[in-house]
Amino acid sequence: MAGPNEKKAPVSALMLAALALPGLDAAAQSLPETSTLGIGMLHYQDEQPELRRVKVNSPSVYLSMPLAGAWLVEGGAVLDHLSGATPRYHTAVSGASRMDEKRKAGDVRVTRYFGHATLGLGAAVSNENDYRSRAYSASASLSSEDRNTVGSLGFGVSNDTISPVNQRVVGERRHTTEFMVGIEQVLGKRDVVKADYTHTRGRGYYSDPYKQVDNRPRERDTDALLLRWNHALDHAAALRLHYRYFRDSFGIRAHAVGGEYERPLAGGWMVTPSLRLYSQSAADFYFDPVYDPLFGEPYPPGYNFASPKPSTADQRMAAFGAATFGLKLAREIGGGWTAYIKAEQYRQMSSWRWTGSGSPGLARFDARSWQVGAVRTW
């Protein structure tokens, strides 16, 4: 089985990734004049040498409607079908645990527009056989008179319940609070820059019950800084660049840089190639693949079963680098509909870490995904 930290993604983020089209602006200060309906299908498959790992199929739907000249109501739903296998520790193929399960998730958000300001409230729910999550959020924004400067604030809380089928734990809880502050600045007719800072405070169960030797601290604080620059080019083309810095109390430090180039083509097509590069350090309690003289793999030397210290053999807590290549095609097909298809290829290797040598002994990790769908506005 995949653990609760391996297969979870924020509901809104998942749906926006599946349904977003070039030109949609979630931070707009004016109430949209049109309604939007989006339907999509996401397929994901990851693998390592000699092991096809997790496969996910996710149909989703999204609806956004302006009401009464001042309100925007948004909602979405997604159904994930996950199957496959994940290593119990590091990237060892032997003993990989199997899974086949479904997740149902949905969210709703209501935003009130006040000319130069907005207030929003949202709620999200996610259910599956071993994991349940409830989340609530509030946000506000304020723009200058000329609308060239926009400040935003956000606050969210989530409560998760973890009850794995192997019954290693039953009814474990995790509570998370998140605070975000951001500012967006128009620099001219062609350029917009934005900076967002997010702080997250989590308390509760963070271990992966399906991994061997996985005992993580019950407190996790994170900080993330996201910088974005959007630049309009000639012929309706656009360049979007971003940089993200992340750190947490587990000891992980991560950097990500990326960009996408959006360009219209003949026949009403829009093409968007993208590239993202990523690097992270290992968690303080991550241990490399080793063999204990007494217990054998995967226990680190001197592991104390009676009083285990924080430790993990989860490759996602290791030091590594990664690259993601993507290509998206979209086309207006009439009747207010725009269809799109997007493919991405991800590769993760220890040797690709930007500084240092990365964690040794890990197998290469690859993932492929494609999304297909359509969006209608009216």
Residues 121 and 244: beta-carbon distance below 8 Å: no
User: What is the DSSP code (8-state) at residue 165?
Assistant: T
pLDDT digits (tens, 9 = 90+) for 275-295: 999 999 999 999 988 776 776
What is the C-alpha separation between 103 and 92, in angstroms, rounded?
A: 27
Q: Is 33 exposed, middle or buried (0-12, 13-18, 19+ CB in 10 A)?
A: exposed
What integer pLDDT is reported at residue 299 of this predicted model? 77
What is the C-alpha separation between 70 and 120, in angstroms, rounded?
A: 12
Residues 254 and 246: beta-carbon distance below 8 Å: yes
What integer pLDDT is reported at residue 9 of this predicted model? 41
- Other C-beta atoms closer than 10 Å to the C-beta of 163 total 16
Sign of the Cα pseudo-torsion (27, 12, 78, 263, in order): positive
What integer pLDDT is reported at residue 28 of this predicted model? 54
Tokens of 296: 């054998």
Tokens of 71: 């309100």
- This prediction has a pTM of 0.89
The residue type at 352: W
pLDDT string in tens for the chain (378-residue length): 444 444 444 334 433 333 433 333 434 568 999 999 999 999 999 999 888 899 999 999 999 999 999 999 999 999 999 998 888 778 887 767 788 889 999 999 999 999 899 999 999 999 999 999 999 999 999 999 999 999 999 999 999 999 998 888 999 999 999 999 999 999 989 999 999 999 999 999 999 998 878 999 999 999 999 999 999 998 889 999 999 999 999 999 999 999 999 999 998 999 999 999 999 999 999 998 877 677 677 777 777 777 788 999 899 999 999 999 999 999 999 999 999 999 999 999 999 999 888 999 899 999 999 999 999 999
The CATH architecture of the domain made up of 11-32+111-286+317-377 is: Beta Barrel (2.40)
pLDDT digits (tens, 9 = 90+) for 13-48: 433 333 433 333 434 568 999 999 999 999 999 999
Residues 190 and 231: beta-carbon distance below 8 Å: yes
